[in-house]
Amino acid sequence: MAKYPIQPLHGRGATGNPDNRYAAHTRDSVDDGWGSQEPLPSLTTELLVDSSRTVISYNDSPDVPFDRSINPYRGCEHGCAYCFARPSHAWLGLSPGLDFETRLFHKPDAPAQLRAELSRPGYRCAPLALGINTDAYQPVERRLGLTRALIEVLAEFSHPFSVITKSALIERDIDLLVPLAQRHLLHVAISVTTLERPLARQLEPRAAAPQRRLDTIRRLRAAGIPVTVLIAPLIPVLTDHELETIMATVREAGALDCGYVLLRLPQEVNGMFQDWLRAHAPLKAAHVMNRLRDCRGGRDYDSRFGRRMRGEGDYADLLSRRFRLTYRKLGFADTPPLDCTQFRVPGRALQLGLW
């Protein structure tokens, strides 16, 4: 029996809800020939509590520029079809598909946990990344305010951090961010995938439109906040032709630095993204995957450190050369380093002084 045709849901990035890799059983929809296929129901977002005992996650990955991060949310309502974080929902017994963008977890105790962890005698300050796995400024942040509360704690401790987002909601917190930027305690990165609005609507259905992100870059820069743009992911055939245009446009908007990450398809994301291609770009699907395999040694994905972000081979080298040439031409440069010397535990100096 043939599989049902893929049915994209309006406002959602995933085309289905595949079983996660830890499931004991898997299910598949097929056409039984009786025309009994039922339309997928519309989905609402469900908010659940994450009872994690700690809020700072540590890593020793040699190809990322930080060793600690905070993610106030699990799952992301932006619904980006390509999101490398989708497989993390399998750890919760849920699907990396529609569950990832509709069944969200938040950490209400995160600000208190952060304050406690930063106050520990053995804590050693190093730049912290906020919202790396899932966007810290996704739509639910508008009413929960967890990210703003975490930034207030980081400011309390003069702790340097960076935040990456594709949401205009970060503008809400400019009042907090400006003093931190002035003290070299903050870097902001805005993620830009494409400048083509129809494509963005299909790839990132609930994220800010490309033009709105450009406005955010301008407003942050006007306030004196350093902004980097991350072209992520760069998708062969689908978006790589925009590379130079995106770089020139964000530079004109005020971005100080720029980088890119080649499309990554770990675990369940591989099959899900290929389903998305067949649904939204069927005539390009095979071409996209063939060029991606050219960058991954013939495989759909290569998880090796140093290779997973950029790929290798002739096609990957061409992308790298195009990026470096445009980077120099447009005058991008590294943003000033974050300052760890200002870190202080509130009240500790006063307590020591009493002795």
Report how far residue 237's alpha carbon sits from residue 234's, in angstroms, rounded to the nearest whole number. 9
Give 58: exposed, middle or buried? Use CB within 10 Å, 0-12, 13-18, 19+.
Answer: exposed
pLDDT digits (tens, 9 = 90+) for 48-83: 999 888 999 999 998 888 999 999 999 999 999 999
pLDDT digits (tens, 9 = 90+) for 309-318: 999 999 999 9
DSSP state string for 101-142: HHEEEE-TTHHHHHHHHHHSTT-----EEESSSS-TTSTTHH
| Model pLDDT, residue 3 | 42
Confidence of residue 91 (pLDDT cuts 50, 70, 90): confident
Confidence of residue 29 (pLDDT cuts 50, 70, 90): low
Q: Would you say residue 181 has pLDDT above 80?
A: yes
Q: Residues in the chain, how many? A: 355
Q: Degrees (nearest 5) of the Cα angle 213, 232, 97?
A: 100
Structural domains of the chain, with CATH: 46-261 (3.20.20.70)
pLDDT digits (tens, 9 = 90+) for 149-159: 999 999 999 99
pLDDT digits (tens, 9 = 90+) for 255-285: 999 999 999 999 999 999 999 999 999 999 9
Q: Would you say residue 23 has pLDDT above 90?
A: no
Q: Would you say residue 352 has pLDDT above 50?
A: no
Strand partners, 189: 164, 228
